[in-house]
Amino acid sequence: MEEVSVEQSSTLLADYDYAVLRLAWVVHRRTRERILLCAAVELLPREVPPPPVSEESFAEISANFFVYARNLVTSSERGIAWFDDAYQGRAVRPSQSGTLPRSDDMSAPQFKTGMFAVEPGRESFVTSTSRVPFSSDWHVTPRVRHLVSDVDPFAEWHHSEKDAAKQWLKAKHHVDLLLFPEYAGSIHLIAPNPIFRELSMRIEREDSGRDAILFALTLRRNMSAEGLELILEEKRATGVCILGKFKFTDSVLRVRLAHRPGEVRQRIIDNRRGLLLDGGFAVFILGFSLETRLVSQIRRVEPGNPAEAYEVAISTGTRRADPATQAAERSARAELSRASSARRVRALAEDNQRWFRNRAGDGVKALRELIGDANETLFVCDPYFGGDDLLRVILAIANTATPVQILTSAMYLRMRRGVGTDLLERRLEEVRKAPSTNPLEVRVMMGKKPAIHDRLIVTASKTWALGSSLNNYGERGTLMLAVPDPDPVREDLLRVWESSKVFETWLVERKAAKGR
């Protein structure tokens, strides 16, 4: 979650002396174009010295592409101007010597970029609680302005080239385009907190028996806590409440609590710069628990393969808890929290999880509904997919324009002693002769064991994992589960699809090998 704050541009030059222009780009070996992959203008608070000048680094990704990265130190004014120029379509390129041409030098070379949309706005920042390309750990929750490109610079790349470039950027330059692919081609203005380095907290028990939280700011050199306001919020099972709004008069603030809080979030707002820190909801530890484990013996487990042998430490455990914590666990708050959590789990499961046992009819109906609603490409991976399964899939699709891709395995087709191969060949011929047939392609995973064991159905909206093959689905206990993070799965499925053989090609080669 991110919170928006409004920034007056006049404060930027007052808060920051230097900027580091961090660049990553690709050189197309044939066209010699310099295509921007990602960039950031990192503003440095006044007490932070600029980093030493670094050399340009690069990696040869393939016969087509080189990826480069470079950091340039400039003034905050020049860095902000470069960012604004990039938004207008002029992303000036540094020279080979590492100098940055003037903003008004219209003859200066430029990076190739897409068109940019600014987020959140030209005079605003978003205080980010998620990772930003090129950001460092000390930034904590930096204020950021994003320029998001309408063009993916990796769009025409092979997936292996794409992966290699993204892995290099992540390892060498803190740019995680694997986790944040939407930032490919983007530019970011990063404005770390200019007032304080960190906020530390601790719980204190007063003589009266009430709890208090002590907040302490580590201010940057020559900076003051004047104008800073703390907003303290608590999340409970039934909603969110404000514990209070408090102004800092110096770097230390004591807040007395009316009750023991659950999950607490602290935000610090500056009356000129907006939101400087969003701590996120976290649980304050007000009690303690201690667990001891006494190892009495070692159990050695030796499976059939000696290389898989391992040892397990057998132990007994005791647990001692603070009485206040035990009482809290029995409180109304804890009970409401457990009930709320259970409802969230059930609501999530209704759309993403189905269980069938002795319910073949319900299982088949669920599969038909899933397949029948597909309007974009339908992808079915089942290493035991056979000829009759083809009819189950094709006949269930309502939209005859939906392309269908089927991934089966040579292991299964050979295992049926020719029956699997012949039956699939006949069914394919029947389907393709029928009127209004969906575009269809079948590929075969090679090898004695297929690259993928699980059964999966991929639609535009979700990727479903099936506990068993399509034939006799639902007769025995089996699960239909929506994959929580489908993108890595889909990418690997695409790799296997591209490396598998078209069924007709595989069939010709098989018949030739058998002398038919």
User: What are the start and end residues of each CATH 3.30.870.10 domain in the chain?
Assistant: 357-513
Contact 383, 470 (CB under 8 A): no
Rounded CA-CA distance 398/400 in Å is: 6
* Long-range interactions of 49-56: CB distance < 8 A, separation 24+: 50/18, 50/20, 51/20, 53/98, 56/98
Rounded CA-CA distance 318/295 in Å is: 12
3-state secondary structure of 263: strand
Show the low-confidence residues of the chain (pLDDT under 70).
1-10, 284-297, 313-338, 340-341, 343-350, 416-418, 516
Contact 279, 3 (CB under 8 A): no
Which pLDDT score, from 0 to 100, does residue 516 have?
61
The tokens describing 414, both together, are 């050979």
Contact 367, 392 (CB under 8 A): yes
Which pLDDT score, from 0 to 100, does residue 431 have?
87
Which pLDDT score, from 0 to 100, does residue 334 have?
63
pLDDT tens, residue by residue, 326-349:
444 446 656 666 676 676 666 666
Cα within 13 Å of Cα(413), Cβ side: 26
Of the candidates 274, 221, 192, the residue with the CA atom closest to the CA atom of residue 19 = 192
Superfamily of domain 357-513: Endonuclease Chain A (3.30.870.10)
User: What are the start and end residues of each CATH 2.60.40 domain in the chain?
Assistant: 196-283
Which pLDDT score, from 0 to 100, does residue 335 have?
66
CATH (one of 2.60.40, 1.10.575, 2.70.98, 2.40.160) for 196-283 = 2.60.40
On whether the pTM is more than 0.75, the answer is no
Q: Which residues pair with 144 in a beta bridge?
A: 126, 190
Rounded CA-CA distance 493/451 in Å is: 10
pLDDT tens, residue by residue, 110-151:
999 999 999 998 888 999 888 888 988 889 889 999 999 999
Which pLDDT score, from 0 to 100, does residue 70 have?
93
Helix-strand-coil percent breakdown of the chain, rounded to 5?
A: 25, 35, 40
- Residue 320: burial class (beta carbons within 10 Å; 0-12, 13-18, 19+): exposed
The whole-angstrom distance between residue 259's C-alpha and the CA centroid of its chain comes to 37
Q: Are strands 404-409 and 440-445 parallel, antiparallel or unpaired?
A: parallel
Q: What angle do CA 395, 396, 399 make, to 5 degrees?
A: 95
